Structure 1
Amino acid sequence: MLDWVEVGLRSILFIAVLFFMTKLLGTKQISQLSFFEYISGITIGSVAAEVITGLDANIMHGIIVLILFSVITYAVDVFSLKSKKFRDFAEGTSTVVIKDGKIMEDSLKKEYYTIDELNSLLRKKNVFKVADVEFAVLEPNGDINVLLKKENQPLTPKDLNMKVGNEKVPQTVIMDGKILDSALTEANKNRQWLDTELQKLGVMQENVFMGQVDSYGQLTVDVYDDKLKIPSPQQKPLLMSSLKKCQADLESFSLQTDSTEAKKLYQVNAERMQDAIDLLSPYLKA
């Protein structure tokens, strides 16, 4: 057999084997690696490369090594789930490197980290002053998690006693000009509704690169032509305007009428309408 043909066949075979082993071990192998998984991954890749290009090597020996390393890695993951002591040994433990704005020098030395490396990790978290940090933990995968001091944390609507609407995952209902019926169903919409919304925006389905339905049932689209400006959805602003107009009309009627009973009725309903506006305003903001 020609050498280049054999290399090609070996490549296809080992791609299939590596794909199967990776699927068996799970997505953890391609995201956050422990020390053992890092070593195992390097070894598996080196063995695969050597067997693919080494025409004198026995291909079955390479496959046996790949299977053996994959099984060992899988066993380590299983034991890690069952035993915390084993998990700490195999995957490592978190290390506190900053506490109450003070760098823990002994912890840095233990992990062989310099001040420059610590500052680099902090900058990735948009932290530029160690004094602003309440607590920082160096994770086994080399990442750092930071808790800022209370006065340095960004304000949230909860801190301001503001009510905000709950958000759900947007559903992509159009992709590359094609309708995704499963996403439409998930958003509790149908094609007729989608056609109506596209007509409101003045856009053809075929010209839509991506269309999404948010948690409030509004459609937003991105078209192929970047120079074409698409108007923003107006359903929520229009609804809020209608509610405010109704409330203002009720207050106006209460001032215009001479009937005490009617005046009281208008005022009560104007207050109810205002309560409804206050309740819905977090959800109807543009």
Structure 2
Amino acid sequence: MPEWVSILIRSFVSIAAVFVFTKMIGKRQLSQMTFFEYTVGIAIGDMAAIIADDVNGPMYKGLLAMSIYALFPILLGWLALKSKTIRNFVEGKARILIKNGKVMEDNLKKERMSSDELLEQLRLKNAFKVADVEFALMEPNGKVSVLLKSESQPITPKKMGWKVSPEQEPQAVILDGEIMDESLATVGLNRLWLQGELEMQGVALENVFLGQVDSNGELTLDLFDDKLQVPAPQTRPLAYATLKKCQADFELYALSTQNEKAKLLYETSAAQLQEILDGLTPHLMR
């Protein structure tokens, strides 16, 4: 058999073996692999290259070595599922880097992480002040998890006690200046509505690169010409402002009138409108 044919066959066999053994080890991403799994992967790759290149050596010896290297992390993974002690030994444990706004310098040294690296990891988590951090942990995979203090966390509808409707996937109703009728039908709209929205924003269809409709029925546009600015949809803010003005007018009328019946009517109307505003605020102002 010609040598080049032997190399070709060995290469295909080694690549197939790498594929099979990689599938056996698991589907973890590179950042989720343990150091041992990462090392085993490098060793298997090296052995696959040796099998393809060493035409004088028997192929089965290389495949046997590859199978042993592949089966060992599988066995360790199975044992780690059964025993927390083995799991901690193989995968490691999370280590506290910051607790209640205080940096744990000893733990930082154990992880061989400098203060600059710690600050960089915090900035990646939108934490620019150590004092704002309740906990920061170095995970076994090398990533830093950050929990901000309650007063430093962003305000969410849940914290405000607001009930909001679930978000749905925005539908692309315009692509490259073309109307997507199927997407329009998915959100219960039609071309007539779309044309009206484009006229309100003063935009021609052929100038739109991308148009999306969200779950609230608002159209956002991205134009081919990046220098042109399309105003953001103002339907909900305008509706909120109008209702708020009406509520304020009722309160003003209640204070200015001398008629007790009219005062009571205005006060009642203002209170009712305030209740409506409280219920609609999460939907109109998000």
Question: What is the TM-score when the length of structure 1 is the normalising length?
Answer: 0.67
Contact (CA 8 Å) 2:14, 2:51: kept in 1 or not? no
Match of 2:82 in 1: 82
2:227 is equivalent to residue 227 of structure 1? yes
Kindly provide the amino acid, as one letter, of the partner of residue 154 in structure 1.
S
**Is the contact between residue 6 and residue 55 of structure 2 (CA under 8 Å) also seen in structure 1?**
no
State the match for 1:171 in structure 2. Answer: 169
CA contact (8 A) 2:96 2:138 kept: yes
8 Å Cα contact 2:170-2:213 kept in structure 1: yes
Gaps of 5+ in 1: none
Output the CA distance in 1 between the equivalents of 2:192 and 2:52: 53
Report the residue type matching 1:264 in the other structure. L
- Between the aligned partners of 1:133 and 1:255, the Cα distance in structure 2 is 48
Match of 2:230, SS state, is coil
The residue number in structure 1 matching 2:117 is: 120
Is contact 1:7-1:53 (8 Å) kept?
no
Structure 2 residue matching 1:237: 3-state secondary structure: helix
- Paired residue for 1:280? 280
Give 1:67 shift: 4.8
Task: Tell me: CA distance 1:85–1:235, structure 2 relative to 1, closer, same or farther (3 Å).
Answer: same
Separation (CA, whole Å) in 2 of partners of 1:244 and 1:134: 38
Change (3 A) 1:74 1:154: same
Preserved contact between residue 98 and residue 133 of structure 1 (Cα < 8 Å): yes
| Cα root mean square deviation, aligned | 4.6
- Shift of residue 220, structure 1, vs aligned partner: 2.8
**Matches of 2:213 and 2:60 in 1, distance apart?**
50
Deviation at 1:3, TM superposition (A): 3.8
- Inter-CA distance 154–252: structure 2 relative to 1 (3 Å threshold): closer
User: Aligned equivalents of 1:66 and 1:109: distance in 2?
Assistant: 37
Q: Which amino acid aligns with 1:43?
A: A
User: Is the Cα contact below 8 Å between 1:171 and 1:212 reproduced in 2?
Assistant: no
State whether structure 2 residue 233 is matched by structure 1 residue 236: no
**CA-to-partner distance for each residue in 1:152-201, whole Å, 9 max, x for gaps?**
x625437xx856665856624239658596x889xx724x3587347514
How far has the Cα of 1:79 moved from its partner? Answer: 2.7
Counting only pairs closer than 5 Å after superposition, residues 201-212 of structure 1 correspond to structure 2 as 201=198, 202=203, 204=205, 207-209=208-210, 211=212
Cα separation, 2, equivalents of 1:83 and 1:149: 34
Q: CA deviation at 1:211?
A: 3.3
Which residue is 2:268 aligned to?
A: 268
1:16-165 correspondence to structure 2 within 5 Å: 18=18, 21-23=21-23, 25-52=25-52, 65-99=65-99, 101=102, 103-105=104-106, 107-108=107-108, 110-111=110-111, 113=112, 117-126=114-123, 135-146=135-146, 154=152, 156-157=154-155, 162=160
In 1, the alpha carbon distance for the partners of 2:47 and 2:219 equals: 51
- 1:163/1:133 Cα in 2 relative to 1: closer, same or farther (>3 Å)? closer
Percentage of identical aligned residues: 33
2: CA distance between counterparts of 1:148 and 1:37? 32
Unaligned runs of 5+ in 2: none
The whole-number CA distance in structure 2 between the counterparts of 1:266 and 1:236 is 25
Distance in 2, matches of 1:242 and 1:2, equals 84
Distance across 1 between alignment mates of 2:256 and 2:53:
92
What TM-score does the superposition give when structure 2 sets the normalisation length?
A: 0.67
Q: Is the 8 A contact 1:37 1:73 kept in 2?
A: yes
Give the paired residue count: 272
1:138 and 1:220 map into 2 onto residues whose CA distance is 40
Does the 8 Å CA contact 2:3/2:55 hold for their aligned counterparts? no
The verdict on how the C-alpha distance between 1:223 and 1:109 changes in structure 2, with shifts beyond 3 A counting, is: same
Query: Is the CA contact (8 Å cut-off) linking 1:81 and 1:87 kept in structure 2?
Result: yes
Shift of 1:272: 0.8
State the 1:108 CA deviation: 5.0
How much does 1:81 deviate?
2.4
